[in-house]
Chains A and B, each alone.
Chain A
Amino acid sequence: MSQATAAVKKDSQAEHHEELSFLYKYILPVDHKIIGMQYIFTGLIMAIIGGYFSYAFRMQLAFPGEVVPLYGLVGPGEYNMLITNHGTIMIFWVAMPVLIAGFGNYLIPLMIGCDDMVFPRLNRLSYQIFLVSALVLIASFFVTGGGFGGAWTSYPPLSSNAEYSLTDWGASLWILAVALEFVSFLLGGINFITTTMNARAPGMKMMDIPIAVWFIVIAVILFMASVGPLIAGAVMLFMDQRLGTSFFLPSGGGDPLLWQHLFWFFGHPEVYVVLLPTMGIVADVITVFSRKKLFGYRTVLYTAFATGGLSFVVWAHHQFIAGIDPRVANVFVVTTVLISIPLAEMMFSYIATLYGGSIELKTPMLWALGFLAAFLIGGVTGIYLGASALDIYFHDSYFVLAHFHYTFFPITIIGMFAALTFWFPKMFGRMMNETLGKIHFWGTFIPFNCIFLPLFFLGLAGQNRRVYNFQLYPDLATQDLQNIRIFATLSLVVMLIFQLVFIYNFFVSMFKGEKAPNNPWNANTLEWSIPSPPPHGNFKTLPTVYRGAYEYSVPGRELDYWPQNEAPK
């Protein structure tokens, strides 16, 4: 054999997992579990900022022109900055880091049975770039002119010219932060894919991989294939802003529509990039709490492939009224409606998994079921918007906003809580309080519906989104419509107050909760076969896998679960 291979072999000689100093354990870790938690905690902090922003602008809508308690007066430019950065934060600094980078990091090596990611230091680097991107975004709120206010879609010429956006450096720092975040996730994604492809436990075949891992990896591949053109676009937009090029400016021969194509070519697959991890997490939660095998493992997987493939040919449904050729719009109507088929099939597989199971309504299961119910409404209203004729009326109205939040709120917030409550015992070695968990669930789920269901009706009544003060448009400011806005805003306040229950439960349980056993939910996947929390290096002896992840209630077995690493007799 060649020298090159010999050198590799020499490197691989056993690794010692010695105790690390605080600095290397928590501040500059290479351990995937700590890095995963860094992502999750950073995401949660950003979620508080994003939630605070939504509180401020919703209060302005409900009580225009009045001083918002705990915030102050919201001016028009500030309103735009708040909505823009609420969207940006919630998608790029909450949904992505928590669902993909956070749980991906934490779960992938544990679930596939290895001691770490294949490139631990690359992993640390990708978190550090992510942290810098978050800091750049926060810094952009404090420069002269304030944070960027051109909406999270950042359409030029509004975003490219300071004389229109009025946020000269705010807009540039915003695009810089987003680009840095993309680079961080590309590096992290390479690690995820390579780890899952190469570092699986002996015996773990492709069809033995838990759906949560599969879906995170598919999501990362979708991200990788969709974000490239937007990175190029971000460079072009940055150069338009700072160097005075005209890539997106008609005055210099450019085309603002090009940005929309680049943005939505990424933006629509992005929906599935964040949806799939939640779908995967939910698959694991519902099988555990209905004690049943996942219905149609392969079907679920293939529907995810189909969704991923189709997600690349639906982007122009965001641009039906942007002046694209109507003949092209026809094609995108068909593809958009088509993509609901694999997703509906996935939903039916999940419902079939629940059917006839011994369902246990523990907190994570409530979140998982809540996700399925809420996302269903989000998905179905999406079909209305995919039809170009209807979209002409609905475009940029509160109907779109309500539809969007019925998809992204379940994905990001409900999915995150399902995962956090489910893996909390593994992460911190303690159980969360069930009663508080259920109070938090109902205190979030009911107000969530009270916020966004009424907004569908506002949209149907013709209300446009991104309006600072409806009182300026007397036709839109009738008292009945204003009452709906006040109701939605008060529901938001109630929901935000109930989050305190979660924060209390989270931190008190982390230190004072009941000690968690290795496998509190009697689940099959490999992370439950080791102590909670798992030590550095995860497994004492690396496991061998003998079966798929969903062998629950197998006839003829005494126990109703069958761990993946339990050797057959």
Chain B
Amino acid sequence: MHGPIATHRRATGIPTGRLAVWWLLASEIFIFGGLVTCFLLFKLNGSPGFEDAALTSVTAGAINTFVLLTSSLSIVLAHAAIENGDRVKTFRYIWYTIGGGLIFLGIKTYEYTGKIVHGHVITENLFWSFYYTMTGLHALHVIGGMVIMALISFDIRKGYNFQRVELIGIYWHFVDLVWIFLFPLLYIANF
């Protein structure tokens, strides 16, 4: 693989890829931050409809939180494995993480279906608009992460781009972190 010399310089001492991922996540924070702030402004102003938070299933949310956190553990294990040069193990742990993402999306689909069947569609009121927008945007990030992980796993098997395991790991932790904010806001806090 070719690349400019610029890519391999490290004036800050931080590898360029890691630096870029941190900046990417910084910009993501502002996007999700904007959404969460809008949600909170409406909620704290007592807008009607937000009491519907009681209708979301805390159990399903809690299981999903557990699944997502566990998948974060497996991507950390993948990083540890690639540091030791164990490509087979890395490949396996990356696919455990993708599996975690799939379970997460499965439970999410189950929740969506249940809500839509009961008439809680995106246009019902502001709470459900925010619920589908925020969890939907988050789910898109989960899907994107899974696709990239799959691509990386094949690179690993062929024996190059080892540093990317760490980069997707940082990203996956961020996806996790966003969920840690969404779970209490949309599931637990029903005042």
Chain A: residues with CB nearer than 8 A to chain B? 2-5, 7-8, 11-12, 15-16, 109, 114-120, 186, 189-191, 193-195, 197-200, 204, 224-233, 235-236, 239, 243-247, 252-255, 258, 262, 537, 542
Contacts and interface: CB of A to CB of B under 8 A. Distances in A.
Interface in B1-51: 1-12, 14-16, 19-20, 23-24, 26-35, 37-38, 41-42, 47-49
B85 to A, nearest CB: 4
A246 B47 CA distance: 12
Given A190-B23, A227-B30, A8 B8 contact: yes
B31 A232 contact: yes
Contacts of A114: 4-6, 9
A557 to B, nearest CB: 28
Nearest to B9: A199
B9 A120 contact: no
Main SS at interface, chain B: helix
Given A118-B4, A119-B7, A8 B34 contact: no
Contacts of B190: none
Nearest to A539: B5
B163 A229 contact: no
Nearest to B31: A228
Interface string B47-86: 1110000000000000000000000000000000011110
Contacts of A542: 5
A199 B38 contact: no
B166 interface: yes
B29 A194 contact: no
A429 to B, nearest CB: 22
A275 B2 CA distance: 37
B110 interface: no
A228 B16 contact: no
B6 A255 contact: no
B4 A190 contact: no
**Cβ-closest 5 pairs across A and B:** A228-B30, A229-B34, A116-B4, A232-B34, A199-B6
A12 B123 contact: no
A76 B5 CA distance: 56
A198 B9 contact: yes
A194 B4 CA distance: 14
B126 interface: yes
23 contacts: A2-B84, A3-B84, A12-B3, A15-B2, A118-B7, A118-B16, A119-B16, A191-B20, A193-B23, A198-B19, A224-B26, A225-B26, A225-B30, A228-B32, A228-B33, A232-B34, A235-B133, A239-B122, A239-B133, A244-B123, A245-B133, A253-B42, A542-B5
Contact of B5 (A115, A189, A194, A233): A115
Contacts of A15: 2-5
Contacts of A537: 4
B85 A3 contact: yes
Contacts of B23: 189-190, 193-194, 224
Contacts of B123: 243-246, 252
Most chain B C-beta atoms within 10 Å of own C-beta, residue among A117, A253, A542: A253
Given A5-B163, A258-B38, 18 more contacts: A7-B163, A8-B162, A8-B163, A15-B4, A117-B4, A197-B11, A197-B12, A199-B7, A204-B11, A228-B30, A228-B32, A229-B34, A233-B38, A235-B137, A246-B123, A253-B42, A253-B126, A254-B126
A105 to B, nearest CB: 13
A194 B29 CA distance: 18
Most chain A C-beta atoms within 10 Å of own C-beta, residue among B20, B48, B83, B85: B20
Contacts of A232: 31-32, 34-35, 38
A489 B7 CA distance: 50
A58 B82 CA distance: 64
Contacts of B48: 253
A505 to B, nearest CB: 34
Contacts of A262: 34, 38
B16 A12 contact: no
B151 to A, nearest CB: 14
Contacts of A7: 160-163
Given A3-B85, A11-B3, A247 B129 contact: yes
Contacts of B6: 109, 114-118, 195, 198-199
A191 B27 CA distance: 13
A200 B126 contact: no
A231 B20 contact: no
B125 interface: yes
B11 A200 contact: yes
B29 A228 contact: yes
A35 to B, nearest CB: 13
A4 B162 contact: yes
Contacts of B37: 229
Most chain B C-beta atoms within 10 Å of own C-beta, residue among A115, A197, A255: A197
Interface string B120-147: 0011011001000100010000000000
Contact of A4 (B26, B47, B82, B122): B82
Given A3-B85, A232-B35, A190 B27 contact: yes
A236 B31 CA distance: 12
Contacts of B7: 12, 118-119, 199
A198 B163 contact: no
Nearest to A16: B2
B161 A231 contact: no
Most chain B C-beta atoms within 10 Å of own C-beta, residue among A232, A243, A537: A232
A194 B41 CA distance: 34
